[in-house]
Amino acid sequence: MINVGIVGGTGYTGVELLRLLSRHGGVKIKAVTSRKEAGMPVADMFPSLRGCVDVAFSSPDDSDLKKCDVVFFATPHGVAMAQARELLEAGVKVIDLAADFRLKDPAEFQKWYAMEHTCTDLLAEAVYGLPEVNRDAIRKARLIGMAGCYPTSVQLGFKPLLEGGKKLIETDTLIADCKSGVSGAGRKAEVGTLFAEAGDNFKAYGVKGHRHSPEMVQGLTAIHGAPVHLTFVPHLTPLIRGIHSTLYARILPQARDTDFQKLFEECFANEPFVDVMPAGATPETRSVRGSNYARIAVHRPGNGDLLIILVVEDNLVKGASGQAVQVMNLMFDLPEQQGLEIVPLLP
Ligand SMILES: NC(=O)C1=CN([C@@H]2O[C@H](COP(=O)(O)OP(=O)(O)OC[C@H]3O[C@@H](n4cnc5c(N)ncnc54)[C@H](OP(=O)(O)O)[C@@H]3O)[C@@H](O)[C@H]2O)C=CC1
Ligand SMILES: CC(=O)N[C@@H](CCC(=O)OP(=O)(O)O)C(=O)O
């Protein structure tokens, strides 16, 4: 059994980790932290976990974290970088769901997250947690910066068109028009995610610049092997879970004869969690709710030069905790799908 710790067990990604790990079969949940609820049994706060999780919350400086084989940080940005070194030195692998180890350039991190990076030497060894792009490096890593929720959908959607320097689309006019449910903003109280504010409402935000833009550009540039330019506009939808990303790309003249449906099907043929839907499909967020799947559909209206890629995922599963469990499975040489073969929840 792999001993697991979770820092930030009272938040949405923390409780989602608990839901998935409690039925994983290969792990023991050893420590789950909360600053405010230390001492309270986890299942008292989350009755959905009664009979599944039998530990109590402990303080984030709990020494049991150092006795774990892996610790997940389901915390705001800046928390993992303060504790990662000590855990790594104690032989513990670290998977951070926040952005501390995503951006390779500390100046970019400081610019977008308004805090200094205090662990820059570890940035160099940290591996980006997106298995469909980085599987081999993840297997060998001891420190992971998990991909963000929107960046997961955008990188999966553009990957077949860009990987290995392919010259199929214009790379300076990429557009990602993305919508997220309110659980993407976390469980903390905020006016913008109140029911009366976010319900029966729909709005764009971060149009001037969102912190996921540099992460997407960094990832897409690595996939392509050359610079790309992307316009990203996120929107808040009155959903609880789910991300729907509509991606636009202009087909280059020399690539007009490409069978893009086939290209996508071949690219993801061996991916357990990426489903390329039949031509013409319009994936719905509810088709992935509660599951680790991303579903993708490729459209080319009028057989013209515009390609539209639709991607759906559950922000809390493939966009966060499920993908983190997928990454843990790879790091510990377990079957990649273990604990994640969950059928999405309808209606
Ligand atoms: N929600 C989503 O869809 C996604 C979130 N993420 C990222 O995952 C991380 C967690 O997100 P989410 O679960 O939504 O956030 P929440 O706000 O729901 O939860 C945050 C958790 O962190 C704990 N926490 C807060 N500050 C500290 C601190 N200084 N030290 C230790 N623990 C702390 C809180 O517990 P307590 O106050 O009890 O200590 C709480 O359990 C964030 O970085 C987020 O950006 C990534 C992908 C998707
Ligand atoms: C709806 C909503 O507010 N979403 C969040 C992004 C989700 C998130 O938690 O960000 P990371 O993936 O970087 O960790 C936002 O736009 O800030």
Number of domains forming the structure of the chain? 2
Contacts of 298 (CB under 8 A, 6+ apart): 260, 261, 264, 276, 279, 307, 308, 309
Question: Ligand 1 test: best mutation among 7, 13, 103, 112, most atoms within 8 Å of CB?
Answer: 13
Same domain, 164 and 293: yes
Mean pLDDT of 303-327: 98
- Residue-level pLDDT at 289: 98
Query: What would the two tokens of residue 326 be?
Result: 């997928």
Ligand nearest to the CA of 35: 1
74 contacts 8 by C-beta, under 8 angstroms = yes
Q: Say if residue 62's pLDDT is above 80.
A: no
Same domain, 184 and 250: yes
Atom 12 of ligand 2: nearest residue by CA position: 148
Same domain, 107 and 167: no
Give the tens place of pLDDT for each residue, 270-308.
999 999 999 999 999 999 999 999 999 999 999 999 999
57, 90, 125 - which closes a domain: 125
2 contacts 332 by C-beta, under 8 angstroms = yes
Q: Say if residue 176's pLDDT is above 80.
A: yes
Q: For residue 56, give the DSSP letter.
A: B
Same domain, 23 and 106: yes
- Residue-level pLDDT at 313: 98
Atom 7 of ligand 2: nearest residue by CA position: 184
Any catalytic annotation for residue 149? yes
Quote the CA–CA distance of 234 and 236 in Å, as a whole number: 7
Task: Output the ligand 1 site: residues, CB below 6 A.
Answer: 7-14, 34-37, 60, 74-77, 79, 97-98, 148-149, 183-184, 186-188, 315-316, 319-320
- Residue-level pLDDT at 317: 98
Q: What is the mean pLDDT of the chain?
A: 97
Is the pTM higher than 0.90? The answer reads yes
* CB-CB neighbours of 227 under 10 Å: 10
Q: CATH code at 239? A: 3.30.360.10
Same domain, 117 and 195: no
308 contacts 288 by C-beta, under 8 angstroms = no
- Residue-level pLDDT at 84: 97
pLDDT band (50, 70, 90) for residue 61: confident
Same domain, 171 and 45: no
Same domain, 174 and 285: yes
Mean pLDDT of 71-75: 98
Same domain, 117 and 188: no
Q: CATH code at 31? A: 3.40.50.720
Same domain, 177 and 252: yes
In a domain, 16, yes or no: yes
Segments forming the whole domain that contains residue 280:
150-315
Q: Say if residue 63's pLDDT is above 90.
A: no
Give the tens place of pLDDT for each residue, 216-273.
999 999 999 999 999 999 999 999 999 999 999 999 999 999 999 999 999 999 999 9
10 Å CB burial of residue 254 (0-12, 13-18, 19+) is: exposed
SS3 of 39, please?
coil
Tell me if the bond preceding 238 is cis, omega within 30° of 0.
Answer: no
In a domain, 329, yes or no: no
Quote the CA–CA distance of 1 and 152 in Å, as a whole number: 29
Quote the CA–CA distance of 172 and 21 in Å, as a whole number: 41
Quote the CA–CA distance of 179 and 70 in Å, as a whole number: 32
Atom 23 of ligand 1: nearest residue by CA position: 8
Residue type present at position 267: C
Same domain, 92 and 232: no
Mean pLDDT of 144-171: 98
Ligand 1 centroid, distance to 226 Cα (angstroms)? 34
